[in-house]
A and B are shown apart, each in its own frame.
Chain A
Amino acid sequence: MYKRTKDLQLSIIKQIELRASKYPDVVSLAQGIPSFDTPSAIKRRVENALRRGVVAKYSLSPGLPELRELIEVGLAQENMFYDWEKEILVTAGSIEAITATVLAITDPGDEVIIPGPTYTSYREVITLAGCKPVFVPLHESKGWAFDLEKFREAITAKTRAIFYCNPNNPTGTIYTQEQLLGLAELAEQYDLFLVSDEVYKDFVFDDSKEKIFSLAEIPSLRKRVIRIFSFSKAYAMTGWRVGYVHSDESVIKEIIKVHDSLVTCAPVISQYAAMGALEMGEKDLKFFIGEFKNRRDLMCERLDRLGHIFSYIKPNSAYFVFPKIVTPFNKGGEGDLKGGFTDSWKFALELLDKAQVAVVPGIAFGPNGEGHIRMSFGRSEEDINKAFDRMEKYFK
């Protein structure tokens, strides 16, 4: 009994949030959620759908045709050409897309390579599918870049896919076109799927870059690349649970079977919200990008003042900083831990308990994340300042 779930754990982010909820005055930089409410234009679209009485029934399993058409149009503007009827599948957020994809493309016993540190839930989904997650470390000294040779070394006869998040959560790294093309070469050579989770693709803070490069832009890779997007981050819609996955028809026709058995269809009301986002969310998205850039700069300024505790690489994307704990820290006294707190779990718990600031321990993102913590600048400037005021006081 419980064989399938015995190796799973509730995501460390959720565990931290649960613990944090017991502290009434906690400031959370833990969960990756934007501080904004869903834009009013999107809400109006939903209100209209409610008034028209079109949200009570299931949609077609792959999603509302009009939403998928809009997605196809949006993808074409980003140089990705997919057929809305057969190659685009609307899902209940990116996590359902990830789960349906992993269950569709793997067999139990397969291995899936994930660069670490990366999004915490990949490990759980891969394990749930009866597969083995294989972490390949990213290079912190090279700005958290890929080392292709490390990927090659990790590939075995059982490897089925490489699963990566671009821009990467928690490091905010944007992988270069050259790195991604190198990965594609490996995938071609060893006949692997490439699953590209691009939920933070809109948050690019480098003014010289208009958009991130995606391997889904290359026609010859379309049977190999599975790209995932969610409306959660870009349009402040984390609670709506809506996203999509796209790939070649030959791949999507398998993923849709799993999607159908998991959720039948994405929540229809949320699909209308997603339509609102694509039709009218552009202005709000631009505003969010500007805000997050300011908040990133604020968080980095505040981190600079804690240079004796943390070192960090300034992120170019997403809304996280992933600082390294550079000084084993021990305040002394009862209950403190021997040898300091470079153990990221203990460090995060100590910070929560003593400073009432919630952060995510780096170990949540794979073995290579140990010795780090993740801080989200999706929170308001007020929350960021409050959290850092408390940390400065605590680390004094």
Chain B
Amino acid sequence: MIKQILKKILQYYLKFVTKMVLFIYRPTVIAIAGSSSKVFVKDEINRVLRESGVAVRSNPKSFNTEIGLPLAILNLPSGYNSYIDWLPVIWKAFLALFRSGFPRYLVLELGVSDVRDMKYLLSIIKPEIAVITDITQRYLEGFGNMDELVGEYEYLVSSMSKDGLAVLNYDNFRIKQMSESARCKIIFYGFNQGADWQAKLISHSDSGQKVEIKSPSGTTVYNINRHGQHHIYASLAGAIIRNYVELEKKKI
């Protein structure tokens, strides 16, 4: 019981400090949500942003829930189950308010395993961009049915402001439908005909995959030194974000 109370206090303390930090430094937040492949999409977006020369921070490991997300934003480790290990974390969280060198971009996985998890996470961050990777039956156990699970991701897309951008997996029917309730700009990505950014596997070898990506501005061939379709999706999302960042730079 005491442990639960202390956990709640810690959760709300970290939330408060994180909101203060975000208010002070105002980074661009890219949220990545979905049942699977979040880590691969996050890593790819991280990579393309670094390549574009911008400072970026993202969640280490699976720091993507009510405690983990603030720790990821504040760049702090977890004290896990040790009261002693949490003490320096709590102190460093406070110091984060005054630390210089906060990154320009945050690329953050959002993990949901129960109803209203997304609402809580969005009470901490306000993403400018949201990427929905995939929705499967994974993590369904925390929800009454598939509609409730999908509802979490719908909430994210419908919460985006009209200046925001939602990058949606066109190949997943439930994700595609989310555009209907969105106010923000939508970019669809996937393999299926009709996606704004469409991938086609050209070849697969021991060293990886060769992929053609068609976008509104033309066709580009990518060599991906990873195996599996999920890396092609990640590359698509990465290419969209790269394009977005370059356009933003031009605007400035």
A→B interface (CB under 8 Å): 40-41, 44, 52-54, 65-66, 69, 72-73, 76, 81-87, 219-220, 222-223, 248-249, 279-280
Q: Is B228 touching A85 in the complex (CB atoms < 8 A)?
A: yes
When chains A and B are docked, how far (Å) is the Cα of A81 from the Cα of B61?
18
Instruction: A85 to B136: give the CA distance in the assembly, Å.
Output: 14
- What total count of A-B pairs have CB within 8 Å? 52
Known A-B contacts A44-B81, A85-B229; the reply to A54 vs B141 at CB < 8 A is yes
B230: chain A residues at CB < 8 Å are 83-85
Q: Assess whether B227 is in contact with A52, with CB atoms less than 8 Å apart.
A: no
Chain B neighbourhood of A81, CB < 8 A: 208, 225-227
Residue numbers in B under 8 Å from A66 (CB-CB): 36, 138
What residues on B are CB-neighbors of A52 within 8 Å? 113, 141-142
Contact A69 to B37, CB < 8 A, known contacts A40-B81, A220-B206, A279-B62: yes
- Complex alpha-carbon distance, A259 and B230, angstroms: 24
Give complex CA distance A86, B141 in Å.
25
Instruction: With CB as the reference atom, state the residue of chain B lying closest to A84.
Output: B228
* B interface SS class: loop
B22 interface residue per 8 A CB criterion = no
Q: With an 8 A cutoff between CB atoms, is B91 at the interface?
A: no
Q: Which bucket holds chain B's interface residue count?
A: 20 to 34
Cross-interface CB contact of B228 among A41, A73, A83, cutoff 8 Å = A83
Q: Please measure, in the bound complex, the distance between the C-alpha atom of A382 and the C-alpha atom of B141, giving whole angstroms.
A: 46
Residue B89 is within 8 A (CB to CB) of chain A in the complex: no
Interfacial chain B residues near A54, Cβ < 8 Å: 141
- Secondary structure at the A interface, as helix, strand, loop or mixed, is helix
Distance in angstroms between the alpha carbons of A81 and B223 in the assembled complex = 14
Contact B80 A280 (CB under 8 A): yes
Known contacts A86-B228, A280-B80; decide if A65 and B206 are in contact (CB<8 Å): no
Separation of A41 and B231 alpha carbons in the complex (Å): 30
Q: Which residues of A contact B81 (CB under 8 A)?
A: 40-41, 44
Whether the Cβ atoms of A219 and B207 lie closer than 8 Å is yes
> Of residues 13 to 49 in B, which have CB atoms within 8 Å of A's CB atoms?
36-37, 39-40
* Complex partner residue of B39 from A44, A73, A248, CB under 8 angstroms: A73
Contact B36 A69 (CB under 8 A): yes
Q: Which of B206-252 contact A (CB under 8 A)?
A: 206-208, 225-231
Interface string of B142-155 (1 = CB under 8 A from A): 10000000000000
Please name 7 further chain A to chain B contacts, defined as beta carbons within 8 Å, in addition to the given A65-B36, A69-B36, A69-B39, sorted by A numbering.
Answer: A41-B80, A52-B142, A81-B208, A83-B231, A86-B228, A219-B206, A279-B61
User: Could you name 22 residue pairs across A and B whose Cβ atoms are closer than 8 Å?
Assistant: A40-B81, A44-B81, A52-B113, A52-B141, A52-B142, A66-B36, A69-B37, A69-B40, A72-B228, A73-B39, A81-B208, A81-B226, A81-B227, A83-B226, A83-B231, A84-B228, A85-B228, A87-B228, A222-B206, A223-B206, A249-B227, A280-B80
